[in-house]
Amino acid sequence: MWAKEVPQGQGTVLILADSGGSNSARARGWKYHLQHHLVNPYRLQVTVCHYPPGASKWNPIEHRVFSQISNNWAGRPLESYETALKYIRTTGTATGLAVCARMLPKKI
């Protein structure tokens, strides 16, 4: 996990989140897990900025990453989860974009 690369107590994280679903500003479970599984164990300072409803289209990460992933697997059949993960993991750009992906073995 990327947070293990940050020395404990020396990192800050900015999370940009839309306001819908399980990561909304009102979702208690999301806040609880963020606090107990990221902030406390790694002693990170975390700032969460929620986009207004309907404004997730402004998320710069989604546009930069997903467009490159789409280009990487364009015209190729996604026959399995492993195939899709392979294309996501091998996505990159000349400017240094690298993508990490893994399959969660349980239902969320």
d(CA 62, CA 33): 22
> Could you read off the pLDDT tens digit of each residue along the chain, which spans 108 residues?
344 455 556 688 888 777 766 667 677 888 898 899 989 998 888 998 887 777 766 666 777 788 888 888 999 999 998 999 999 999 988 888 888 888 887 765
d(CA 108, CA 105): 9
Name the H helices within the chain.
28-34, 40-42, 60-73, 81-89
Model confidence pTM above 0.85 = no
Per the structure block, which two tokens stand in for 44? Answer: 């990170």
Q: Please give the backbone phi and psi of residue 92, each rounded to the nearest 5 degrees, phi first.
A: -165, 170
Q: Please give the backbone phi and psi of residue 98, each rounded to the nearest 5 degrees, phi first.
A: -130, 140
